[in-house]
Amino acid sequence: MEVPRFPTLLLFVVLSRTSCFANSQSFIGVNYGQVADNLPQPSATAKLLQSTSIEKVRLYGTDPAIIRALANTGIGIVIGAANGDIPALANDPNFAKNWVNANVAPFYPSSKIILITVGNEVMTSGDHNLMTQLLPAMQNMQNALNAMSLGGKIKVSSVHSMAVLKSSEPPSSGSFDPSFSDVMKGILGFNDATGSPFAINPYPYFAYRSDPRPETLAFCLFQPNAGRLDTNTKIKYTNMFDAQVDAVRSALNSFGFKNVEIVVAETGWPYKGDSNEVGPSMENAKAYNGNLIAHLRSMVGTPLMPGKSVDTYLFALYDEDLKPGPASERAFGLFKSDLSMNYDVGLSKSSQTPAAPKTPVGPSPKTPVGPSPKPEKATWCIPKTGVSDAQLQANLDYACGHGINCQPIQPGGACFEPNTVASHAAYAMNLYYQNSDHSPGNCDFSQTATLSPNNPSYNGCVYPCGAR
């Protein structure tokens, strides 16, 4: 999990407030590791997942009890072939057929298996033989699925460390390590031909651990910061996650694979660690995972992939108490073994608790005061002058992550142009305010917004308004 240091038709806007952030969302998944001796029964885990907005689960193996427990839940399941299986998969097509017959056929389609990962971080394992056998293993696995008429339904890929990149900073310079470029091109050709994703493990946590400055922490936690300018593209990145994912996008593009989609197979932050570890804390873990979820829900995307959220598997569902290494390795879990939360990032369907707000982003709480007359005039919520792009991006993520319809500021939407953080944040902040009963406290955004009687609508982009 090593990470380099480096993130027109008139549209009728629906103004009714929704709670979509508490519903299932296909881009939010979770890793279910099993290096532990205190995990709940699979049936209890299945019920827990159904109570959340998590729609996909990644297993590192093929535990039949878990796969069976997830049957008829609608939860997508990623299963994994171990690194140790790769030589047999590569050299014996019958081994691949038997693997599929044992681990897929008895469960599918009741259990919604969507992806098989062949190996984990093989390309950075240092095992040259294993690296060269990875593609043949993936091909034989695909052929075995095809033989069962499952090739178009279940994809095959492999999971990679960010260390497959030789360069990741700035994001536009993202490129693969040339020492295994031929093997990587073969794997990417397979991904492209079969429509399977390129799965990657970006960890801003490790980037901060290697550069533990306060400004790096804010950049990694999606909190307000000065941002980092990519001097090649003139794009200012406001968080490490986007920078890392876009570095992968640039590397894929540089090899000519612009159509291969990215899946974030792992990302997370530990909530505790040893006394000499930099970064682990409950506060940081809640900020990273909560703000990441808000960012994904906003559907803003990354600068190089705007308007959609990358499928992201959070690490991890539970702590794994038998993992070796520093204490942080055993403290990535979102939930405890008794099914209670280690900390709340707003995943529960039964709770309207939002993802952890960035600091400081959300509307300020109002101090109760006596009734005052409401002006009978239209008002809009707009950013104050001089607010940084980083703060505006945080406001944008907060607003779009809380149930409003941000489709108009996505590509093709009536308000997508101008494609700037300032313009998109202005639209989202206003819509959040309009959907919140026109309460002045919901046009605060930590004193970065203000009410205005002037209509900011332009050229077919209609900013909703309301009389107060």
Residue positions annotated with a catalytic role: 121, 266
List Cβ neighbours of 126 (8 Å cut-off, separation of 6 or more).
none
Which residue type occupies 215? Answer: E
Q: Residue 262 pairs with which residues in a beta bridge? A: 198
Question: Measured between alpha carbons, how far is 185 from 176 in angstroms, rounded to an integer?
Answer: 10
> Is 379 in contact with 463 (CB distance < 8 Å)?
no
> Is 303 in contact with 242 (CB distance < 8 Å)?
yes
Question: Measured between alpha carbons, how far is 35 from 318 in angstroms, rounded to an integer?
Answer: 10
State the SS3 of 414-429: CCCCCCCHHHHHHHHH
List Cβ neighbours of 183 (8 Å cut-off, separation of 6 or more).
123, 131, 132, 134, 135
CA angle 215, 225, 165 (to 5 degrees): 70
List Cβ neighbours of 401 (8 Å cut-off, separation of 6 or more).
21, 293, 294, 295, 296, 297, 298, 354, 355
List Cβ neighbours of 357 (8 Å cut-off, separation of 6 or more).
290, 291, 294, 398
